[in-house]
């Protein structure tokens, strides 16, 4: 629970600073029911939390993977951020954390990192049609006809057209696009299909969760309980 390393926690226990259901425990090897036992450490109550959820504003130039022999990954970014913020990785089972969803190397914006496989499944499953909103800048102007085609669905080299999308123009070469699928390079391929190229792509939202405007590229924060609950709700 991010209190410290194993040896630090052992010290805390041996020095009588940890209470289980109101009683001081002095043996680190004691077993407790992690859900039912009330644990107080140095006067603070801890609620066991098996899952952890982070929001990252993914920076450009890193790949959405856990490890890679050559390239910097989003997990490398997460580790660096946690060490910077907390001074260590103590207590965080980083090996279990993975990105829930994928952004291209040059795409920036909202990425969720978690160790909760079922939440990841919920938001990524194609059948769930979770909406994702992107800020898109293009090489050339997006005409009303192009916008209309994107809205209705386009062929991107597969059998099925893309599902209807919501497009909101911001400038002649900039819009937000909300899609409910997650096909490979989908946004870039949709714009190619109507005759232009994406030159900047940023994910702004997934389901009810919007990228925190305070979060700069490369920064990470934990999701609040409310945000986690909202992510789990049906969209």
Of residues 62 and 187, the one with the C-beta less far from ligand URA = 187
User: Where do the DSSP E strands lie in 27-148?
Assistant: 39-41, 44-46, 53-58, 98-100, 108-114, 132-138
Residue 52 CB, shortest distance to ligand URA, in Å, is: 24
Of residues 107 and 115, the one with the C-beta less far from ligand URA = 107
Among 21, 33, 96, 104, the active-site one is 104
Residue 132 CB, shortest distance to ligand URA, in Å, is: 7
Residue 66 CB, shortest distance to ligand URA, in Å, is: 17
At 148, which helix (H) or strand (E)?
Answer: helix 144-152
And the tokens for 222? Answer: 């934990």
Contact 146, 196 (CB under 8 A): yes
Residue 185 CB, shortest distance to ligand URA, in Å, is: 4
Radius of gyration, CA atoms only, the chain: 22
Collapsing DSSP to helix, strand or coil, 204 comes out as: strand
At 10, which helix (H) or strand (E)?
Answer: helix 6-14
Token pair 């409310």 is at which residue?
A: 226
Residues at the contact surface with ligand URA, assessed by CB under 6 A: 103-104, 107, 185-188, 201
Cβ-count burial 138-151 (b if 16+ within 10 Å, e if not): beeebeeebbebbe
Q: Catalytic annotation on 148?
A: no
Of residues 149 and 188, the one with the C-beta less far from ligand URA = 188
Contact 107, 99 (CB under 8 A): no
At 168, which helix (H) or strand (E)?
Answer: strand 166-171
Of residues 181 and 227, the one with the C-beta less far from ligand URA = 181
Q: How far is it, in rounded angstroms, from Cα 191 to Cα 147?
A: 9
Of residues 104 and 174, the one with the C-beta less far from ligand URA = 104
Residue 212 CB, shortest distance to ligand URA, in Å, is: 19
Active site residues: 104
């Amino acid at each position: 629970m991010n209190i410290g390393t194993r040896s630090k926690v052992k010290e805390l226990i041996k020095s009588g600073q940890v209470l289980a259901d109101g009683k001081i425990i002095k043996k680190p090897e004691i077993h407790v029911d992690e859900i039912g036992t009330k644990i107080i450490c140095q006067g603070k109550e801890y609620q066991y939390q098996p899952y952890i959820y982070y929001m990252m504003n993914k920076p450009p130039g890193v790949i959405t993977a856990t490890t890679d022999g050559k390239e910097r990954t989003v997990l490398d970014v997460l580790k660096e951020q946690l060490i910077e913020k907390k001074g260590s990785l103590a207590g965080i089972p980083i090996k279990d954390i993975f990105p829930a969803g994928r952004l291209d190397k040059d795409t920036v914006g909202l990425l969720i990192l978690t160790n909760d496989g079922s939440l990841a499944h919920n938001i990524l499953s194609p059948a769930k049609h979770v909406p994702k909103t992107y800020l898109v800048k293009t090489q050339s102007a997006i005409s009303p006809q192009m916008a209309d085609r994107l809205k209705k669905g386009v062929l991107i080299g597969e059998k099925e057209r893309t599902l209807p999308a919501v497009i909101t123009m911001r400038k002649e070469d900039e819009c937000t696009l909300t899609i409910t699928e997650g096909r490979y390079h989908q946004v870039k391929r949709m714009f190619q299909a109507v005759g232009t190229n994406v030159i900047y792509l940023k994910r702004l939202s997934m389901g009810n969760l919007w990228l925190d405007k305070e979060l700069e590229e490369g920064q990470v924060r934990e999701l609040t309980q409310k945000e986690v609950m909202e992510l789990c709700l049906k969209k």
